[in-house]
Amino acid sequence: MSSPRRVALAGMGIYVPERIMTNKELEARLDTTGEWIQSRTGICERRIAAPEQAASDLGVIAARRALQDAGLAAEQIDLIICATASGDTTFPSTACLLQTQLGATAAGAFDISAVCSGFIYAYAAGANMIASGQAKRVLIVAAEKFTTLLDWEDRSTCVLMGDGAGAVVLTSDAKQGELLSCSLGTDSGGIENLIIPAGGSARPTTHETVDQKLHYMKMNGPEIYKFGVRIIGESVSEALKLAGLNESQLDLLIPHQANIRIIKSAAKRFNLTMDKIVVNIDRYSNTSAASVPIALAEAKEQGRLRPGMHVAMVAFGAGLTWGTVVLRW
């Protein structure tokens, strides 16, 4: 077998819906306050997709922008991987819908189900397809209309999530964002702490499951909080080791935007000042799989990705799943 090919990042793009829902708006319809939401989570506002927009409609705009940024036509893509927990339909995959909407006629397409870790899992899968020589140009799209999975009367979950999409194109010959390592992990021991209980084959949708709101996200917030704090440290540390780097060589951390307090604990764990961590939870809340690629694209736009930097992207979510990708910019 020939040696693995280099993998780098040729382009990126994002899309967030126009409609902004502020904490003030939630105050008016729930037993909550903007002060509670902001102080406990860091969220000030989130984006909400229009009724006629599905996850693929958000993803296709981010994907077109990523292709343009990479200077590639859709026909040149040979694999599309979509990370989503809120895909348009149970089947076919949202990646299939993206393939058609983009006109990526030479591409195979599939979805990855790892919820908030989905982008990192898709990145690892796509990168390894390039490294092994089975694909040349991979489009990864993280697209979420997560607000359709929320019980809007449950203040403990609905204030946390928003809609959005981010996409990247991976190739061997891109100049920036060379992949150094990926580290993935899973532990379904905590599965009940973050789950949509009904609507799958274990508990198909019935009038009763709908009446009981079992088709919405249920979360044990404090348990997921503790898990997030612990796993970000462990996962980034493992991925840096795989990349042959010391923790002191980490220049920029792009974490999943679940809670500003979790992000600050990561800053402390890695001895990073906040200017070395990308944060946009205040404006977008938690957009699940789309959270990391949106933060990555904003970091680039703000000129925070500079040549030679070591960048770690880390996420965690339902499953429970987690993962880190380390790049050299």
Residues marked active site are found at 116, 256, 286
* Cβ nearer to ligand ACO, comparing 115 with 127: 115
Stretch that binds ligand ACO, among 13-21, 89-97, 153-161, 168-176 (CB under 6 A): 153-161
* Identity of residue 329: W
The two tokens of residue 2 are: 């020939």
Per-residue CA distances from 235 to 146, 178, 295 (Å): 25, 19, 18
The two tokens of residue 154 are: 């449950």
Q: Shortest Cβ distance from residue 105 to ligand ACO (Å)?
A: 33
Q: How many residues bind ligand ACO (CB under 6 A)?
A: 22
The two tokens of residue 202 are: 């274990």
Asked if 259 is part of the footprint of ligand ACO (rule: CB under 6 A), the reply reads: yes
DSSP class per residue in 206-218: -HHHHHTTTTS-E
CA 225 to chain centre: 17
Q: Shortest Cβ distance from residue 15 to ligand ACO (Å)?
A: 20
CA–CA gap between residue 195 and residue 5 (Å, rounded): 37
Q: Shortest Cβ distance from residue 4 to ligand ACO (Å)?
A: 30
The two tokens of residue 328 are: 């050299």
What is residue 119's DSSP assignment? Answer: H
The single residue among 224, 236, 295, 297 that binds ligand ACO, judged by CB under 6 A, is 224
* Identity of residue 8: A
Conformational region of residue 17, where left means phi above 0, alpha means psi within -120 to 50, and beta covers everything else: beta
* Cβ nearer to ligand ACO, comparing 45 with 251: 45
* Cβ nearer to ligand ACO, comparing 61 with 219: 219
Per-residue CA distances from 198 to 203, 214, 302 (Å): 5, 5, 41
Q: What track of x and - describes contact with ligand ACO for positions 262 through 291 (by CB under 6 A)? A: ------------------------x-x---
* Cβ nearer to ligand ACO, comparing 10 with 85: 85
What is residue 221's DSSP assignment? Answer: H
Q: Shortest Cβ distance from residue 145 to ligand ACO (Å)?
A: 13
The single residue among 32, 38, 128, 265 that binds ligand ACO, judged by CB under 6 A, is 32
Angle, alpha carbons 156-318-325 (nearest 5°)? 120
Q: What track of x and - describes contact with ligand ACO for positions 78 through 117 (by CB under 6 A)? A: -------------------------------------xx-
Q: Shortest Cβ distance from residue 77 to ligand ACO (Å)?
A: 27
* Cβ nearer to ligand ACO, comparing 67 with 296: 296
Stretch that binds ligand ACO, among 58-66, 165-173, 207-215, 218-226 (CB under 6 A): 218-226
Question: Burial letters for 122-150: b for 16+ Cβ neighbours within 10 Å, e otherwise?
Answer: bbbbbbbbbbeeebbbbbbbbbbbbbebb
Residues making contact with ligand ACO (CB under 6 A): 32, 36-37, 40-41, 115-116, 155-156, 159, 194, 221-222, 224-225, 228, 258-259, 286, 288, 317-318
